[in-house]
Each structure stands twice: as structure tokens, then as C-alpha cells.
Amino acid sequence: MFEFQERRDVADRYRRLFEREGLGEVADLPVEKPGHFHVYNQFVIRVPADARDPLRDHLTAHRVGSEIYYPIPLHLQKAYAHLAHREGDFPVAERVGRECLTLPLFPGMTVRQHDAVVEALTDILTEGGAR
């Protein structure tokens, strides 16, 4: 099986688990438009900004890796300072930077590993007050 198909299968399982646990109410998942498909190099969810960092801490405490890849939007990064953009110039990019969290996704990810991620998410997103 091609690696991208394995990644797609892992993403599909995340979707099913999120639906089963009712997590779609508090976390937005990646979207595929009709006629296009995602290769899922990363599986990035969006949660309310005030829930993201506590969620990441909770995952870490449960030995579940996660990552925040662009906490500072490009227009505010030092490399682009010469463009003279300020906070507020791109409010959507700034909001997304506060809401995104990347979950583990890799070829060969086991059902047990999936369950551990979703169980930790469910613990905090349903009982931790994010709903």
C-alpha cells in the first residue's frame, strides 16, 4: 500500500472516532473538497484558542505527542518584518495560529494508538469544560 493511502486510512479512522465520541462539536477536522484528496502529511485540528494549550498539556501528560507548527503567523515572523505588517493585519491567520493543533498520524498507526489519542482528547474536551 502506498504511504499516502495509509495516512488517508489513519485520517479516516480519526474521523470515525471523533464522530463516535461526539468531538466534532468542539474540534474541526481537516476537510476534503469533492474531487480532491488530502495526503495527510499532518492531521491538524482546530479547537477554541483557550482550549488548545490545556489540551496539548493534557495530551503530553497522557504521553500523546502533538505539535503546533505555526504559532506565529507568517506576517508576524521576524523573517517578514521588512513587510511591516502588524498584529491585526491578518486576523484570520492570527486566530488560526491560536487554534491549530497537530495530532499524531503516521503509516502503521495502530488501533490502540488511535484509541489512546482519542481517549485523551475525549477526557479533556468533554469533561474539561471545552463543550
Cβ-in-10-Å burial (0-12, 13-18, 19+) of 9 comes to: middle
Reported as a single tens digit per residue, the pLDDT across 39-88 is: 899 999 999 999 999 999 999 999 999 999 988 999 999 999 999 999 99
The pTM of the full predicted model, rounded to 2 decimals, is 0.88
Predicted pLDDT of residue 129: 43
Q: Give 126's pLDDT tier (boundaries 50, 70, 90).
A: confident
Domains observed in the chain:
3-127 (3.90.1150.10)
> Minimal CA–CA distance to 118: which of 53, 49, 48, 43?
43
The Cα 113–Cα 7 span in angstroms is 14
Reported as a single tens digit per residue, the pLDDT across 77-118 is: 999 999 999 999 999 999 999 999 999 999 889 999 989 999
Mean per-residue pLDDT of the chain:
90
The Cα 121–Cα 59 span in angstroms is 7
Reported as a single tens digit per residue, the pLDDT across 8-43 is: 999 999 999 999 998 988 899 999 899 998 889 999
